[in-house]
Amino acid sequence: MTGPRQRRARCALAAALAAAALAGACTREADDRARFEAGDGAPPAIEDAALLELDAPALASELAAGRVSAERVTRAALARIAAIDDAGPTLNAIIEINPDAIEIARELDRRLAAQGPAGTLHGVPVVLKANIDTGDRLATSAGSLALAHHRAAVDAELVARLRESGAVILAKANLSEWANFRSTRSTSGWSSLGGQTRNPYVLDLNPCGSSSGSAVAVAAGLAPLAVGTETDGSIVCPASANGIVGIKPTLGLVSAHGIIPIAASQDTAGPMARTVEGAALLLAAMQTPRESTPSEYATTRADLAGIRLGVIRDYGGAGEFADVEAAFERWLDMLRAAGAELVDPVELALPDGLGAAELEVLLYEFKAGLDAYLAAAHVEPGSLEALIAFNDANAREVMPHFDQDIFLMAQARGGLDDPAYAQALAASRTAMRSRLEAVFAEHALDALVAPANEPAWKTDWANGDPAGLSSSRAAAVSGYPSIAVPGGLAGELPIAIAFVGLPFGEAELIEIAAVFERTRGPLPAPKFLPAL
């Protein structure tokens, strides 16, 4: 099935579901009014359009209490996808709808009536990035035509945990093809299967990658929660560009089993939500249980008294974006006002050659990891070498804008027993961890803080993404946790602050981020402007 045919089929399904949702609205309203007038103590139910405006924790509370049904919420989400993603602004955030979503929701409604809620996400719709395995009728495609028909035999571990928590797996999200690891000239948010995802704030601007569809789905209200994946910046960058919260967890907190890999030493899935509390709710549901991590994350800290934050001034692109620099100073003042003690500046002094060493590690690990994944999945193309050949044979559809030079570089690498790989790993991950350990210890820090990214740029298929502002590398290479929280708008565009914490220090990092979020106040919603 080609990309356009798949989209037309999805549009037809979504339109039918939207019509069904509209037809049932009057009946639901009458039923709710009758229950209220009968004196059973239940208020009239929330209107369908307002359901998806609720933050995930509030929606989860409504569902668990039985004030709204999982089927109704699912139909509302599917109707909004039809109206906003397929029609209207046509965001291209969703690559495929789960044909079993409504039946899953109905089963959860039956479960609630008989036994109570299944878990903390009972009935809450969740969108997954299309490189995450689901053992159902959804494809795990990485956005590539080569894997358009690949359906995993079993759920990724994180997906199994989400199902146990009661989540409705609503859809797969578009992404930068192969998680932005096919070409050095790639355009974030574009895939040969799903086309170009668009930024909901300004449609001709880029959503950043590679978890672009996941971020846009949340920002545009298509779903309250989404799962992205990150190797270096692919959660925190789209979160920043689309005005939502994204958490890149400590490496290993969330299982990477069942995710199409780039690099085992950096890959992780993470939650994306409109608020810190929503992201924390999703993280708790998807993480692998550990003795040292909570099953729920609190966001109730009143202030930042006693918290020491190290202010990073030597992040990538520092000094190049005046609006971000000015906003960062305002954010630092807000943190001080909330009681934090700032150590300013803290110089990371990233090791010389870190970027080149990181790329070498990714190339070696991508070849080994992808070959292993494809072989275990019994799918064709069954190796990186075969995938390169497929792309060459289908170049018009697969490579209309950029090539596969990264694939070729990875294929030319040896195995993980190559001494060059061990040297690159020592010069990147080992060196970065040593540097961060020293910085945290020297200044007795609870977290580091920096701007996350510059405002979104214009999508440019001819030249690809620009090299702009980014502070993601330190946490990505070391495996430390980070969280991007919207700080406000620069003109019409979201910009965000990033916090980096200690390994498995997500609980404290979430508390810090939640205090900042409350201090910041409301964030303007997307306007779906066609251009600036």
- Positions annotated as catalytic residues are 129, 210, 234
- Token reading at 436: 């961060």
Q: Is 430 exposed, middle or buried (0-12, 13-18, 19+ CB in 10 A)?
A: middle
H/E element, 129: strand 125-129
- Closest by alpha carbon to 480, among 519, 526, 434? 434
Tokens for 384, please give them.
């990186």
For the stretch 364-377, what's the b/e string if a residue is b when 16 or more beta carbons lie within 10 angstroms of its beta carbon?
Answer: bbbbbbbbebbeeb
Residue count (the chain): 532
Q: Which residue has the tokens 């969108």?
A: 127
Q: Which residues of 229-245 are buried (b: 16+ CB within 10 A; e: fewer)?
A: bbbbbbbbbbbbbbbbb
- The DSSP bridge pattern shows strands 447-451 and 308-312 to be parallel
> Tokens at residue 132, please?
């995450």
Specify whether the CB–CB gap between 60 and 273 falls below 8 A.
no
Give the separation between CA 134 and CA 179, rounded to whole angstroms: 17
Q: What is the DSSP annotation of 335-351?
A: HHHTTPEEEEEE---PP
CA distance 172 to 303: 37
**Vertex 328, ends 325 and 329: CA angle to 5°?**
95
Q: Minimal CA–CA distance to 134: which of 105, 150, 149, 156?
A: 156
For every residue of 420-447, DSSP letters joined together read HHHHHHIIIIIHHHHHHHHHHHHHT-SE
Q: Which residues pair with 482 in a beta bridge?
A: 248, 500
Radius of gyration of the chain (CA): 22
The torsion of the CA quartet 446, 450, 456, 458, rounded to 10 degrees, works out to: -140
CA nearest neighbour of 351 among 267, 418, 436, 250: 436
The residue whose two tokens read 């449609």 is 203
Residue carrying structure tokens 């299982």: 255
In the block, residue with structure tokens 């609006």: 323
377, two tokens: 């999945």
Other C-beta atoms closer than 10 Å to the C-beta of 419 total: 8
CA distance 11 to 344: 51
Give the 3-state secondary structure of residue 109: helix
